[in-house]
Amino acid sequence: MVSRVIPVDTFDLVIFGGTGDLARRKILPGLYVRFLAGQIPEGARIVGAARSEFDDDGYRSFVSESIAEFVAKSKQDKTAISEFLKCIHYVPIDALGKGGWPDLAKLMRLDTIRAFYLSVGPRLFGPLAERLHAHGIANDKSRIVVEKPFGRDLKSACALNAVLAESFEEHQIYRIDHYLGKETVQNLMAVRFGNILFEPLWNSQYVDHIQITVAETVGVGGRGGYYDKSGAMRDMVQNHMMQLLCLIAMEPPSTFEPDAVRDEKLKVIRALDPVESHEIVRGQYLEGENGASYQIEAENPDSHAESFIALRTHISNWRWNGTPIYLRTGKRLRARVSEIAVVFKDPPHSIFGPQEGRRGNVLVIRLQPDEGMNLRVTIKEPGPGGMRLIEVPLDMSFAEALGNDGDDIPDAYERLIMDVIRGNQTLFMRGDEVEAAWAWTDPIIAAWEDRHDKPKPYDPGSSGPEDSLMLLHRDGRRWREIR
Ligand code: NAD
């Protein structure tokens, strides 16, 4: 099944940081794929803006190379690429200087959607927002997109919100969390609120606990400098995992309008209990047989940053009272997998007598590597000899179910950029959501900083430190295997 393409109005999109890593790997290839799908309207302009001294042609070569490197070979169509490159322009600009702004202003058209993607470090958000206004480039209809990290604590996030608010209204600000652009994440809402089947069971009466895992096999690599100041809590939990938790736990919004959805997500964050020190395990991978050590990769032999975190939390509201939520994320783990597992309780009484090792129903929502869902159900083991129960998966890979090899599932960035052009903020974080998430995260980080907590070592290629297994064992539960 080929996905339906909904046309958008023509637009001028300016990518500040248009020569950076993110633009090269995700934004520009994503825009080309949308062009190929017929979604970029005639006359649309995509303008790279950065410090490098490119002209239009030089930047077109840069874009063409990024397509060659990061778009699937099956989608590299010579004619389409040269048509796409006609949309591409470039203006050299220093976000902190004066040059280039009048040239950019000249390129902007009246009565056309204007979007500004700030694919630059957060210290440039303020100066860019300010200059866009001062030069009359941003108007009431403009949209501004900002990348993560959105602050490193509540104070800095509030300061960033305040700086953006000086030049833009909240309805113009798109804070990207690319996890929200994943097909499965949106499917989470479709499955929960488009079926009658799950919602009646979606509460502490029937759900034993929820596990959210984001496991990576890669280490910190070239991002050591940034990661060492951030750690897994700031890099993963405060944003991506918190967003997944919100979508899985929120009340049904009354409509699928952006603010209706975001109001419900905010209520989840505000209902999260503080996390006690015994409910959290921090880890750091340490030289194992294959020689990978966090401290060497991060070039900081004294680093106490966590490359792994596992924690237990609760949502204090009527729906979830008594259902623990376990979050786990880390680098250099056994496998690359992101999933949410909703583990249901056992039936109240077994008419089949005791069943050794029987496990209950589990709904697994897989975000990667293969987006899909899997519901574990109990059936009778085939054959004579009594009623023995086994669990089998009702498995649905989206790529298989939708009859394609996964190529037609748009990348998260493709979808989110098109949402910006459409003016749909549903999948973007609102300022108060980000602040609430930091307000929950700050005391957890402060507590381990106060006690000079050292992360527990774990072997690269493992499931994380032993203590993280204990976190669930103590509660009579266990983590799903990372594989
Ligand atoms: P990068 O260092 O590769 O690129 C930065 C870009 O900003 C370059 O184009 C550079 O020319 C431009 N720039 C820097 N200073 C400038 C100035 N004074 N005036 C004008 N342009 C200037 O960074 P990146 O990896 O592309 O990341 C960009 C943003 O996206 C960062 O905030 C980063 O945290 C975020 N992000 C990146 C990734 C990723 O995979 N690279 C993922 C998520 C978020």
Is 3 a member of any domain?
A: no
Rounded to 10 degrees, what is the CA torsion of 386, 387, 391, 395? 90
Do 50 and 194 fall within a single domain? no
> Closest ligand 1 atom, CA of 26?
40
Q: Specify the residue with its C-alpha closest to ligand 1, atom 25.
A: 21
471's CB contacts (< 8 A; 6+ apart) are 279, 281, 310, 311, 312, 326
pLDDT digits (tens, 9 = 90+) for 433-445: 999 999 999 999 9
DSSP 333: B
- Residues in Cβ contact with 338 at an 8 Å cutoff, skipping those fewer than 6 apart: 213, 214, 215, 366, 367, 368
Give the model's pLDDT for residue 3: 57
**410 C-beta neighbours (distance < 10 Å), count:** 21
User: Three-state DSSP class for 383?
Assistant: coil
Q: How far apart are CA 273 and CA 325, in angstroms?
A: 11
Same domain, 289 and 347: yes
279 found inside a domain: yes
Sign of torsion, CA 164 165 167 170?
A: positive
Residues 250 and 343 in one domain: yes
Tokens of 446: 């402060």
Nearest CA among 175, 168, 165, 105 for reference residue 137: 105
- Secondary structure (3-state) at 63: helix
DSSP per-residue string spanning 140-155: TT-EEEEPSP--SSHH
Residues 462 and 319 both lie in one domain = yes
Domain count, the chain: 2
Let me know if residue 456 belongs to a domain: yes
Atom of ligand 1 minimally distant from the CA of 96:
18
Task: Tell me: cis bond preceding 369? Omega within 30 of 0 counts.
Answer: yes
- The residues lining ligand 1, judged by C-beta closer than 6 Å to any ligand atom, are 17-23, 50-52, 93-96, 119-121, 124, 147-149
Can you say how many angstroms the Cα of residue 51 is from the centroid of all Cα atoms in its chain?
A: 28
375 in the same domain as 305: yes
Domain final residue pick, 129, 147, 165:
147
- For the cut 90, the answer to whether the pLDDT of residue 35 exceeds it is yes
Please name the residue whose Cα sits nearest to atom 13 of ligand 1: 17
Residue 125 and residue 201 in one domain: no
Provide the pLDDT for residue 193.
94
* Backbone phi and psi for residue 431, each to the nearest 5 degrees, phi listed first: -55, -45
**Three-state DSSP class for 288?**
coil
Q: Is 182 annotated as a binding residue?
A: yes
For the segment 116-147, what is each residue's pLDDT rounded down to a tens digit? 999 999 999 999 999 999 999 998 889 999 99
Task: Round to whole Å and give the CA distance between 116 and 141.
Answer: 11
Task: Specify whether 114 is located in the same domain as 184.
Answer: no
Alpha carbon of 17 to ligand 1 centroid (Å): 5
Query: Whose alpha carbon is nearest atom 43 of ligand 1?
Result: 148
Quote the pLDDT of residue 357. Answer: 66
SS3 13: strand
Active-site positions read 240
Name the strand (E) or helix (H) holding 126: helix 125-134
* Ligand 1 center to 92 CA (angstroms): 15
Mean pLDDT value across the chain = 92
> Does residue 441 fall inside a structural domain?
yes
Could you tell me the distance, in angstroms and rounded to a whole number, from the CA of residue 417 to the centre of ligand 1?
17
What is the pTM assigned to this prediction? Answer: 0.93
Cα of 164 vs centre of ligand 1, distance in Å, is 18
| 15, 22, 63, 117, best to mutate for ligand 1 pocket (most atoms within 8 Å of CB) | 22
Place 203 in a pLDDT band, splitting at 50, 70 and 90: very high
Domain that holds residue 449: 180-414+430-473
Report the CATH number that the domain containing residue 318 is assigned in CATH.
Answer: 3.30.360.10
